[in-house]
Structure 1
Amino acid sequence: MRALLLLLLIYPFAEIAVLVALADHIGGLAVFLLVLLSSMLGLWMLRNQKLGALLTLGSVMRQDENVSLYSLLWPLRYALAGVLFLLPGLLSDALAVLLLLPIKGPGIKMQTGPRPGPSAANPPPGAGDVIEGEYSRVDDKPPQGRHLQ
């Protein structure tokens, strides 16, 4: 917990240090334009995120068997990359580019088609534990003169 808090405190200073070092090498106007363009890219990504999420979901549902967890989380990664592009600084831009890389993660098996129901050929587990019998319900009758309401 302390490490996360420390990273959150150091992050703005690291962004400023990287921007100043880059401005020293290529010039202040170029760095300003780079930050402005990355912010515009982040805004564009966030505005067009809904369409991308729908297209991604549609393509995942059309796949037959193996779906990657990273492909399911693509809309979330895309939106987070847009937010990171909106933040001024090169470290956040580098993190956003890393989020947009097409990394293929572990697969998730999706079951397609209707689920088979229990049948006589393959009974569900524990089906042999059924005890058949008859029963009758016996209700106690209230005493005369006293009615339940």
Structure 2
Amino acid sequence: MRAILLLLLLYPLLEIATLVTLAHHLGGGVVFLLVVASSLLGIWMLRNQKLGALLTLSSVLRQGQQVSLYSLLWPLRYALSGLLFAIPGILSDLLAILLLLPFKGPTLQNVASPAGMADDVIEGEFSRVEPKGQDQPPRLH
């Protein structure tokens, strides 16, 4: 718990240090424009989050049976990277870029396929027994 608290306290200091260092090397105006541009990109991504879901759906339809776990999590990664772009700072921008990289993950079998459903069938019989009195609920035998 202390490590998470320490990271939360150090993160803004690291962001400020990277911004100051970058401003020293590139100039304050360039860094300011970079921060404003990344924030606008993040806001645009959060507004157009439906695009991420649409891209995931089209990818799943094109792949057929094989679906990657990372492609199913694409809308979540897209929204989180938009939020990280909206936060001013260089480290958050780098994390957002890492989230947008197309990683290949383990494939999942399509659950709705007929081959996958054949093993999940449980066969059985039942008969309904009518109650003899009014106060007994119906039972299955």
Q: Same fold (TM over 0.5)?
A: yes
Q: How much has 1:61 moved relative to structure 2?
A: 3.9
Give the match's secondary structure for 1:84: helix
Matching residue of 2:108? 108
Cα distance change on mapping 1:65 and 1:11 into 2, 3 Å: same
Matching residue of 1:143? none
Aligned partner of 2:93: which letter? D
Q: How much has 1:23 moved relative to structure 2?
A: 0.6
Matching residue of 1:66? 66
Where structure 2 has 5 or more consecutive residues not aligned to the other structure, the ranges are 135-141
Moved more, 83-92 or 108-117: 108-117
Identical amino acids, percent of aligned pairs = 61
- On the 8 A contact 1:64/1:112 being kept in 2, the answer is no
Count how many residue pairs are aligned between Structure 1 and Structure 2: 131
Alignment of 1:26-41 (within 5 A): 26-41=26-41
Matching residue of 1:94? 94
Moved more, 28-37 or 104-113: 104-113
For 2:132 and 2:108, locate their aligned partners in 1 and report how far apart those are by CA, in whole Å: 53
Q: How much has 1:117 moved relative to structure 2?
A: 9.6
- On the 8 A contact 2:56/2:75 being kept in 1, the answer is yes
Q: How much has 1:55 moved relative to structure 2?
A: 3.1
Alignment of 1:1-149 (within 5 A): 1-114=1-114, 115-116=117-118, 124=122, 127=124, 138-139=132-133
User: What do you get for the CA RMSD once the two structures are aligned?
Assistant: 2.7
- On the 8 A contact 2:78/2:100 being kept in 1, the answer is yes
For 1:51 and 1:23, locate their aligned partners in 2 and report how far apart those are by CA, in whole Å: 34
Task: Give every structure 1 segment of 4 or more consecutive aligned residues whose post-TM-superposition deviation is greater than 2 Å.
Answer: 111-118, 135-140
Larger Rg: 1
Q: How much has 1:54 moved relative to structure 2?
A: 2.2
C-alpha deviations, 1:70-123, integer Å up to 9, x for none? 1000011001001100111100000000000000111111134454599xxxx8
Cα distance change on mapping 1:8 and 1:137 into 2, 3 Å: closer
Where structure 1 has 5 or more consecutive residues not aligned to the other structure, the ranges are 141-149
Give the match's secondary structure for 1:91: helix
Q: How much has 1:139 moved relative to structure 2?
A: 3.7
Please report the TM-score for the alignment, with normalisation by the length of structure 2: 0.79
For 1:136 and 1:112, locate their aligned partners in 2 and report how far apart those are by CA, in whole Å: 37
Moved more, 11-20 or 40-49: 40-49
- On the 8 A contact 2:52/2:74 being kept in 1, the answer is no
Aligned partner of 1:53: which letter? A
